[in-house]
Amino acid sequence: MGVESQLVDEIAKWSARLSDELRKIKPADGIGKNMKGNIEAYVEDSKHFFKAGDLVKSFECLVWAWAWLEIGVQLGHLARDEDFENKNK
């Protein structure tokens, strides 16, 4: 398997994981709403670069999207569904 096909596989894998995770994420405040918008923009940029054949930039956008997601959760601006459920108990 060549580097290009490995990169295509990684982009597909992490795009799917990010898509699944985004369905579970809700903004906890206004900053979280902006952060989620940035994450979604990076996902769209990844798709754009993938279609253009720029696999490195496509993967890089996914890395940035994951970083925004994790930072947002850690700072309390984004919450996973289970976080909302735990607060309401």
pTM (2 d.p.): 0.86
Residue type, 75: L
pLDDT, tens only, 45-73:
999 999 999 999 999 999 999 999 999 99
Q: What is the DSSP letter of 89?
A: -
Q: What is the pLDDT at residue 84?
A: 53
pLDDT, tens only, 6-37:
999 999 999 999 999 999 999 999 999 999 99
Domains of the chain: 3-87 (1.20.1270.90)
Report how far residue 63's alpha carbon sits from residue 38's, in angstroms, rounded to the nearest whole number.
13
Give, in order, the Cα–Cα distances in Å from 14 to each of 28, 38, 58, 79, 83.
24, 17, 11, 20, 23
